[in-house]
């Protein structure tokens, strides 16, 4: 009777769910760093989960599943930020700000401020993935669809911009 | 004049405080996979019927290959969805891994003060105890993860038990059990003489299971292939049945490690 109502989870289902569960906290932290707004970050985290779930059959061909998952999260975060910016401008026009407040110790929030002040969303995601989550240039190339050389160059520029802003 | 390496180091130092910002996690109701949404009333009935059919007892079972298996029912999210709106258990296990003498687990719970008691039983005796704290409790569901270690030398079938202590009368409640096979005795540590970087291997057919420090492992030797992305320190690796060579590959750093059993052991770095 149960089988008639719903199928049993397949290996791909289980693997996709487990993969997400294992990386959920790191993904959640990455998203907070990049989009900052916790409510939006949770929305993007759910979108990442759903997107990974829908693409779970590809997992057998994925070389670096962790990079694959972060690639989905990055793409969704950048997309959400574009929409969020439009929403924020609209809310500001009518005098409302529905962003959820920051959480974390003061020094961490200062760094988050600096990161958002100095870098745009794409560079911010790249720097966080490299220097907070430890992805190297080849992995970042897989995540972003750019070449490792281009990634290195962009990281170099972003680092310089960030350090310059930090010294101001 | 600063170099790229200097800048990299400075940026890493600069961003280090970001680790203190708490991550967002998905609330359980947002974690349901599409197509796994059960019809609550019918399934609730089916589940209750199953419990009745089992005489109300918790049924435990293990697999021949030694892999862990839930003692109650499959703890995959299908159970979460099934029971979400009817009789969802207070404690749910969503993933479990046995690494030699260590049992690692992930789950979610809505329990008093977010505290989940954990113990290992073997032959009726409690051989290890600990507790974990969920991210939310006392009326909201939070996630938890943790591990419990049997003493050195303990191996064989055991049962992982998760439960709560009643705030009213101190009784044990909400018991969830899962059969595991501990493998302390059959596992060999590599490198054998160091603590950091040590991992355990044990031959299980053509696959061995290893615990590595923070690796993502993809493995292929001839026709034998295993790939998994893992949390913290667990990885699957493959063994060549002819040469007994063990291959551990970390895709994250793009480096492969070839470890020859009984031969020189290369440095493990993730």
Residues A69, B252, A131: CA angle, nearest 5 degrees: 80
Q: How far is residue B175 CA from its own chain's centroid?
A: 18
Instruction: Encode pLDDT of B183-235 as tens digits.
Output: 654 444 333 333 333 344 433 333 334 444 434 344 343 444 433 333 333 34
CATH number of B23-183: 2.60.40.2550
Residue B100, both tokens: 């030699």
Name, of A42-46, A92-96, B226-230, the range with top average pLDDT: A42-46
| Cβ neighbours of A17 in B, within 8 Å | 33, 76-77, 94
Band the pLDDT of A4: cuts 50, 70, 90.
very low
- Summarised one tens digit per residue, pLDDT across range B62-113 is 223 333 333 333 333 332 322 233 356 889 887 777 666 778 788 888 888 8
- Those residues whose C-beta lies under 8 Å from the C-beta of residue B136, and which sit 6 or more positions away, are B110, B114, B142
Query: Which pLDDT score, from 0 to 100, does residue B218 have?
Result: 40
Task: Give the distance from residue A90's alpha carbon to the nearest chain B alpha carbon, in angstroms.
Answer: 25
B39/A5 Cβ within 8 A: yes
Contact between chains at A38 and B25 (C-beta distance less than 8 A): no
Residue B22 has pLDDT above 70, yes or no: yes
pLDDT given for residue B46 in this prediction: 30
Note whether A128 contacts B: Cβ–Cβ < 8 A. yes
Strand blocks (E) in chain B: 69-70, 91-99, 102-109, 115-122, 125-133, 142-149, 155-165, 172-183, 188-190, 199-201, 203-204, 207-211, 217-221, 224-228, 234-239, 245-250, 255-260
Q: Does A29 touch chain B (CB under 8 A)?
A: yes
User: B252 vs A25: CB contact, 8 Å cut-off?
Assistant: no
Check CB contact under 8 Å for A6 and B23.
no
* CA–CA distance, B44 with A103 (Å, rounded to integer): 39
**Residue A151 scores a pLDDT above 80:** yes
Task: Give the pLDDT confidence score for residue B104 in this predicted structure.
Answer: 79
Which has more pLDDT, B231 or B42?
B231
- Could you give the residue range(s) of every CATH 2.60.40.2550 domain in chain B? 23-183
Determine the distance in angstroms separating the CA of A114 from the nearest CA of chain B, rounded to an integer: 10
pLDDT value at B139 more than 90 = no
- Collect all residues with Cβ–Cβ distance below 8 Å to B1 and sequence separation of at least 6: none
- Put simply, the answer to whether B22 touches A103 (Cβ < 8 Å) is yes
The count of CB pairs under 8 A between chains A and B is 163
Cα nearest neighbour of A167 on chain B: B14
Q: Measured in Å, how far apart are chain A's first and last C-alpha atoms?
A: 67
HSE-CB of B206 using CA atoms within 13 angstroms: 12
A19 inside 8 A of chain B by CB: yes
If one compares B49 and B98, the residue with the highest pLDDT of the two is B98
From B18, B78, B251, residue closest to A9, measured CB to CB: B78
Interface test with B, best of A11, A17, A20 (most B CBs within 10 A): A17
> With a cut of 0.90, is the ipTM above it?
no
Instruction: Give the end-to-end CA distance of chain B in Å, rounded to a whole number.
Output: 31
């Amino acid at each position: 009777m149960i089988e008639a109502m719903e199928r049993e989870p397949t290996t791909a289902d289980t693997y996709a769910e487990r993969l997400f569960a294992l990386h959920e906290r790191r993904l959640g932290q990455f998203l907070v760093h990049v989009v900052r707004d916790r409510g939006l970050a949770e929305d993007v985290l759910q979108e990442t989960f759903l997107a990974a779930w829908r693409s779970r059959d590809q997992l057998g061909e994925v070389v670096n599943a962790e990079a694959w998952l972060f690639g989905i999260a990055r793409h969704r975060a950048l997309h959400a930020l574009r929409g969020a910016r439009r929403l924020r401008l609209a809310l500001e026009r009518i005098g409302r700000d529905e962003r959820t407040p920051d959480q974390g110790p003061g020094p961490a929030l200062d760094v988050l401020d600096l990161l958002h002040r100095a870098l745009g969303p794409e560079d911010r995601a790249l720097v966080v993935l490299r220097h907070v989550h430890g992805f190297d240039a080849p992995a970042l190339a897989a995540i972003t669809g750019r070449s490792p050389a281009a990634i290195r160059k962009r990281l170099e520029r972003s680092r310089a911009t960030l350090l310059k802003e930090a010294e101001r | 004049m600063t170099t790229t390496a200097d800048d990299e180091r400075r940026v890493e130092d600069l961003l280090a405080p970001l680790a203190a910002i708490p991550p967002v996690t998905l609330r359980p109701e947002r974690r349901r996979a599409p197509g796994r949404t059960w019809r609550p009333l019918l399934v609730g009935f089916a589940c209750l019927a199953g419990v009745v059919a089992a005489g109300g007892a918790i049924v435990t079972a293990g697999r021949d290959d030694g892999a862990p298996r839930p003692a109650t029912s499959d703890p995959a999210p299908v159970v979460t969805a099934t029971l979400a709106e009817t009789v969802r258990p207070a404690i749910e296990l969503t993933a479990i891994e046995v690494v030699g003498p260590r049992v690692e687990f992930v789950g979610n719970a809505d329990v008093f003060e977010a505290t989940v008691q954990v113990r290992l039983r073997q032959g009726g005796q409690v051989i290890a105890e600990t507790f974990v704290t969920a991210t939310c409790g006392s009326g909201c569901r939070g996630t938890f993860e943790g591990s419990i270690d049997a003493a050195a030398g303990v191996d064989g079938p055991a049962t992982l038990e998760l439960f709560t202590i009643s705030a009213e009368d101190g009784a044990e409640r909400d018991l969830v059990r899962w059969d595991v096979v501990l493998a302390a005795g059959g596992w060999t540590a590599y490198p054998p003489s160091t603590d950091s970087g040590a991992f355990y291997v044990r031959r299980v057919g053509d696959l061995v299971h290893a615990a590595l420090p923070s690796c993502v492992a993809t493995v292929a030797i001839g026709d034998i292939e295993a790939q998994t992305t893992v949390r913290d320190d667990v990885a699957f690796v493959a063994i060549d049945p002819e040469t007994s060579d063990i291959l551990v590959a970390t895709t994250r750093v793009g480096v492969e490690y070839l470890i020859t059993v009984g031969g020189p052991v290369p440095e493990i770095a993730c």
